[in-house]
Amino acid sequence: MPKSYSIFSILRHALRPSEPWPEAWAKPAPKSNYDVIIIGGGGHGLATAYYLAKNHGITNVAVLEKSYIGSGNVGRNTTIIRSNYMLGANTAFFEKSLQLWEGLSHDLDFNCMVSHRGQIVVAVSPGQMDSFARRGNLMRLNGIDAELLDRKELEKELPYLDYSKHARFPIWGGIHQRRAGTVRHDAVAWGYARAASALGVHIIEDCEVTGMVMDGNKVTGVETNRGRILAGKVGIAVAGHSSHVARMAGLRLPVESHILQAFVTEPVKPMVHHVVSWGAELFYLSQSDKGGMVFGGHIDGFNTYTQRGQFFKIRDVMECAVSLMPFMSRLRLLRHWGGIMDMTPDGSPFICKTPVDGLYLNGGWCYQGFKATPASGLTFAHTIANDAPHDLNAAFALDRLMKGRELDEHGIGNWTYKQ
């Protein structure tokens, strides 16, 4: 494994006879015993393992991935990072995440292609402008950048929107977070895997957890398709399969698994220079470095573990795209795909201890898992290492719903996706 990537390592490699680059992370066989096992080798699981090793000195860690690294939701999202939240716990957490994104490529010695191209949410009514002003003020009070744009300012930034009087949702302005942007999502998985592996973490691919090894109310290990592996502590970071894995330990979660689809068009010349979201419907779009428009919308609306989306939702999202950006009608759709996510009653995640000793949960990410990756790993590692939450994730507890401490960011009550 190369010690570090630099201009010299590229030159050295260019001068050698043609051969593949060395593997970025080691592929060890599983040991029979670890201090910590993280189930799920996605962004959150790998980040957790990395911060366990780096911040807490716990290096006897295994990350168990049922498929290959990058096969799950870390490679299925629309790559957006931002921190324009309103509720206290969310604001601090997602701002910490954005700050970690800012230095991530240097921290991991891996170019994650973090692009602070900014995110603009388009407002479609005077009332929405008022609510965006309130959101922007709350962000600024927390030291986060936010700018309210009137219609003229917006027209300079996004000249290609439908500003006509006949638009179904007339445009009034928008809110701009300049530090928001996109990150190359595969590089996040590869970068965390490589950095964790360099610190001694075992990354074990093609290793599916099939059961928990329990001693009374304590988890002492996991059963896998590659045999039994024992551990002092077990963390779950499996995106849409949280309920499935938690049930192996007898737990029932406040979660339903839903499919969210994403789309990419044929590549065109640079045109959309921001992440653009819409106030009229859940719709978000950015242009990738290859030139394709990458965008998504709502979930399909019923629980499923299949990664195949329904056609009616494809049509819904295309209608959003064309309504906001008429030029989209002339682009051809290249690919679409689905990812399975935990939807929670209040739309906020869980990073917490569970009622089972030695078992920790990182799940319930709804629409917002990717942007949370660094802070999620940081706080989940802290929770596992200290058996107590970090200040930033104390509010993301499993019993918050029963205690009436919901984090209902959208302010529309229970099961936001059913509204």
Partner 1 sequence: MRIPCPHCGERDVNEFRYGGDATKQRPAHGDKDFQTWNAYVFEFDNPKGPHEEFWQHTLGCRQWFRLKRNTATNQILGGGQ
Q: Report residue 90: phi and psi, to 5°.
A: -65, -45
Q: Which is nearer to partner 1, 67 or 111 (CB)?
A: 67
CB of 305 to partner 1, least distance (A): 5
Distance CA 245, CA 238 (A): 8
Q: Which is nearer to partner 1, 254 or 326 (CB)?
A: 254
DSSP structure class, residue 55:
H
CB of 172 to partner 1, least distance (A): 31
CB of 210 to partner 1, least distance (A): 13
CB of 376 to partner 1, least distance (A): 21
Distance CA 69, CA 203 (A): 9
Q: Which is nearer to partner 1, 314 or 333 (CB)?
A: 314
Q: Which is nearer to partner 1, 139 or 255 (CB)?
A: 255
Q: Which is nearer to partner 1, 227 or 355 (CB)?
A: 355
Sequence-distant (6+) residues with CB within 8 A of 192 are 43, 46, 47, 49, 50, 108, 377
Nearest 5°: the CA angle 8, 13, 15 is 100
Structure tokens at 233: 């502590």
Q: Which is nearer to partner 1, 255 or 276 (CB)?
A: 255
CB of 244 to partner 1, least distance (A): 5
Contact between 335 and 288 under an 8 Å Cβ cutoff? The reply is no
- 102's enclosing H/E stretch is helix 88-102
Distance CA 24, CA 4 (A): 10
In the complex, the residues that contact partner 1 under the rule CB under 8 A are 241, 243-244, 247, 252-257, 301-306, 308, 310-312, 345, 401-402, 414, 418
CB of 85 to partner 1, least distance (A): 22
Going by DSSP bridges, is the β-strand pair 218-224/227-236 parallel, antiparallel, or unpaired? antiparallel
